[in-house]
Each structure stands twice: as C-alpha cells, then as structure tokens.
Amino acid sequence: MKYKIIPFLFLIISLTSCKDDNQKRIAENEKDAKKKEVVFSNIKKGWDFYDTPINTTAEESVATWNELRLFLTELAQKPKRTIGAFQQKATAISKKAMALNENVPIQFNKPQIKSRISTLITKVRLLDLYIHLDVISDKKVVHLIAEINNELASLQRQMDKIVEKSKIPAEEGESELMKMMDDSRAIPNNNQTMIDPNIPRVE
C-alpha cells in the first residue's frame, strides 16, 4: 500500500509544479506584452518628422532635387498599426537618406552641405538600427527622431545661406582677387634650386 501512495504523491507534486510554471509563464508573457504596447504607443506618439520644407530655398529645391523630395515624401508617410510597420518605414527612410548624396545640385555641392547630409544619414541609420533591436528603447528612438529633425532643419538653413550669399553682388575686382588666391592657377617655379638648410651660407 505504501508503495502505491508514493507514486501518487509524486504525480500530484509534479502536476502542481507544472501548473505554477504555466502561471508564471502566462504572467511574464502578459507583462512583456504590456511593455511592448507602451513602447509602441510612445514611438507612435513621437514619430513626428519635419516633412515639409522650412524655407523658400528648400521649397524650390524640392522641385529640382529629386532625392530630397523623395526623402521628405518618405518622412511624411507615417506607419500606424504595428511596430513591424515602423521598422519597415525606418529602413525605407534610411535608403532614401543615403540617396541624398547622389545628384546633389551643383549650387549645393559644397563641403558644408555634404557634412550636414552625412550627419543626417548617420542619425537616420541609427534610428533604423535601434528600432530593429530585440529590446527596443522607445526613449532612444524618439530622441533620434528629434535629432533627425534638427539635422534636417540645419541642412535647409545652410542651403538658404548659400542661396542668399550667391545673391550678393561681387565687388569690383573681387573675382580677380579670388583668381589670384587660387593655388591651382599658380605658375610653378621649376628654376628654383632646393637649398639644403645644413649647408652654411655666405652672406
């Protein structure tokens, strides 16, 4: 009789422990689902890009600079339903941002514009990276969106500065002075012999 009771007790104990494990697992899953819901809600709320030109120069450039127009259009399309939709959108924005380096209008093909485009691309790629992590930091994603907006505004302001500067008429003789300062136009002096600083000179 004793030997029949022992397996029965063992069976009851194992069933009870399985039930406890299942309840713990269900509680953890519910907690995880709520956390993901909060992350999704915060990202959805913070997903707000400057998708329209902030000045006349940028507005006019959108008509001719195809890559800038496509980038702003991509920013304007906000995903809604799932975190997966936001992840796909981040990847699409990243591709459009990298294309900004191609076909930059001659007027804006300057170091100060190129550096701002590079910084903007870096921020967009970071957004794409952070939103694809297994554990997504909603604070980091929202912060990067704000940084992308700042970089985009900085780029457009720099474009405006270049246009305004080009409208200022050059003073008389300024173009000749600029040509004189250009090292690439200097006449090479091949007759000048190399002087060894170690050889004593007679003065």
Confidence at residue 119, expressed as pLDDT on a 0 to 100 scale: 94
Q: What angle do CA 131, 126, 71 make, to 5 degrees?
A: 95
Supply the pLDDT for residue 13: 63
Residue 200: per-residue pLDDT: 64
Sign, Cα dihedral of 92, 50, 79, 73? negative
Domain assignment present for 200: no
Is 65 inside a domain boundary?
Answer: yes
Residues of the chain where predicted confidence (pLDDT) is lower than 70: 1-23, 27-29, 170-203
- Res 55: pLDDT: 84
Residue 39 lies in a domain: no
**Long-range contacts for 88-97 (Cβ within 8 Å, ≥24 apart)?**
90/124, 90/127, 90/128, 90/131, 90/132, 91/128, 93/124, 93/127, 93/128, 94/124, 94/125, 94/127, 94/128, 96/67, 96/70, 96/71, 97/71, 97/121, 97/124, 97/125
Residue 160 domain flag: yes
Q: What does the pLDDT read at residue 18?
A: 56
Give me the pLDDT at residue 67, please. 92
Question: What is the extent of the structural domain holding 134?
Answer: 47-166
- In this structure, is residue 120 part of a structural domain? yes
In this prediction, residue 69 carries a pLDDT of 92
pLDDT digits over 6-17, tens only?
A: 665 565 666 565
- Structurally, the chain folds into a number of domains equal to 1
Q: Is residue 185 part of a domain?
A: no
